[in-house]
Structure 1
Amino acid sequence: MTALLIDDADGVRTLTLNRPHRKNAIDTELWEALRTALDAAGRDRSVRALVLTGAGGAFCSGADISKGLSGVHPVYRMRTLTDVTLLLHELPVPTVAKVTGVAVGAGWNLALGCDLVVATPRARFSQVFTRRALSPDCGGSWLLPRLVGLQQAKRLALLAETIDAEEARALNLVTWVVDAGKVDAFTDDLTARLAAGAPVALAQTKALLNEGAERTLREALAGEARAQAANFATADVREAYAAFAGEREAHFTGDWAVPGSTAGRSEDET
């Protein structure tokens, strides 16, 4: 059985954790597959949005500990988890976690590492680490305080409580709660809208927001100025203005179009 399913449709790449017999707990093979798949998605310009989800009615029950501790030193095992976390967080396209069922431990933190989270009412979440005599990984110690504040982050991490989808939404850990029968259509519509966006502008916006919490206002303004320069160098800005004037939907490509470049320009303009 393939541990990670990869599907492409209309610019949206879906990665499905496919170990339903273990509630999609991530073993060594799946960690490696995720690292390879996320790296490939970041390099593929045809990918305009990415969905991370799980098979069999669960999202992910965390790292697979069913085989106990291996002889490999944890330092080496953690390198792969670190790679996956950074690749997901820094992916230059919008990412959506579609959560049905459990999302606990590293599995929940992978969902939180996505830009948007769609959950069904039966989704359940837990920072389970302390129950296993461990501390958070996959970015949980960094993400939780930024999303819910320090006190609630400590509550979730220290007590390892299980919360439902509505409480997760109230804590800003879930973006939408959608009925199970509608979640696929909802996610498809959401990612279609993201995939239709200007790819360079979306990438710049995502990076600015991710970096903003660590910057002073002066640094953020300098970053915004650099991002806008990159945006104005694309054909998408011209297309956006033309679409607005023509009262039509814009078609964005992310093509380079600076003075003297023929990219994104018609034959009449060259």
Structure 2
Amino acid sequence: MNYETIRCAVREDICIITLNRPQVMNALNAQMRAELLHAIRTDATRARVMVLTGSGRAFCSGQDLGDGGNAANIDLERTLRDEYEPLLRAITDCPIPTIAAVNGAAAGAGASLALAADVVIGAESASFTQAFTRIGLIPDAGGSYWLPRMIGAPRAMGAMLFAEKITAAQAADWGMIWEAVADDGFADHWWGRAKHLAQGPTAAYAGVKQVLRESWQNPLDRQLDLEAQVQGRCGKTRDFKEGVVAFLEKRPAKFEGR
């Protein structure tokens, strides 16, 4: 598919999706949301890792308030239900590991989009802003779900009420993101992280995502049962057999992703 608002490429089992509206700091319009959804559902299925990043100086500035004319006429409830929800579910339900490589500002729904990924890596110059109250709105696109689970209720409440910029270093210190790295070499760093995962046990990664996410609502008995089920599946993979043999032979494992 010829995308107009994003770039998408698959190489070395890594699907790289780049938000590509730098003139508006990669603000999300209806076309971009549709193209992102299509890329995640189709192009990413040909890879073992997906990376989401931005072009230019921003990762994503959030909802494009100029999309469709007068911002006051936007049907926000319909937009969230029909466009954002399928997109966010596609990211969280993606069977392969997902990385948000946040190269610059991530604000509003752009911050929520980043936090939906499994791993968030931020450049030191990047920032995260729950900017919604600046225009009289509440955090959406999953922000009210992810943030308190990542950094706790007090910090989440402050971030949402004051709408202050959170630096990448601060976000890493709070546990909002995995790491903040120097701008110099940022692209090489996240590529190395993605390549590591692309060469790993893909089925086990899918299992990690499942048991971790379901642990938030499961009682202990249910979680122990889930672990047994998922571990049973992983134990039947070629990668598990290779991992054991490699361990016994004292060599690095060569995983196939199956």
Q: Match for 1:143 among 140, 143, 146?
A: 146
Q: TM-score, normalised by structure 2?
A: 0.93
Q: Match for 1:131 among 134, 149, 166?
A: 134
Tell me the distance in 2 between the aligned counterparts of 1:239 and 1:68: 58
Q: Match for 2:233 among 230, 235, 240?
A: 230
Q: Is 1:31 paired with 2:46?
A: no
Tell me the distance in 2 between the aligned counterparts of 1:71 and 1:132: 14
What residue identity is the alignment partner of 2:111? Answer: W
Tell me the distance in 2 between the aligned counterparts of 1:238 and 1:163: 44
What residue identity is the alignment partner of 2:42? Answer: A
Unaligned runs of 5+ in 1: 256-270
SS in 2 for 1:59: strand
Deviation of 1:139 (Å): 0.7
Q: TM-score, normalised by structure 1?
A: 0.89
Unaligned runs of 5+ in 2: none
Counterpart residue number, 1:77: 79
Counterpart residue number, 2:55: 55
Q: How does 1:1-270 map to 2 (within 5 A)?
A: 2-41=4-43, 44=45, 46-66=46-66, 67-69=69-71, 73-78=75-80, 79-255=82-258
Tell me the distance in 2 between the aligned counterparts of 1:204 and 1:222: 13
Query: Which string of whole-angstrom CA distances, capped at 9 and with x for unpartnered residues, describes residues 150-177 of structure 1?
Result: 1111101111111212211111112111
Query: Which string of whole-angstrom CA distances, capped at 9 and with x for unpartnered residues, describes residues 76-113 of structure 1?
Result: 31121011111111211111111122100010111111
Tell me the distance in 1 between the aligned counterparts of 2:74 and 2:133: 22
Tell me the distance in 1 between the aligned counterparts of 2:222 and 2:253: 32
What residue identity is the alignment partner of 1:111? Answer: A
Tell me the distance in 2 between the aligned counterparts of 1:30 and 1:217: 41
Query: Which string of whole-angstrom CA distances, capped at 9 and with x for unpartnered residues, describes residues 91-148 of structure 1?
Result: 1111111112210001011111111111112112110011111111111111011001
Aligned-residue sequence identity (percent) comes to: 32
Tell me the distance in 1 between the aligned counterparts of 2:76 and 2:192: 41
Aligned residues: 253
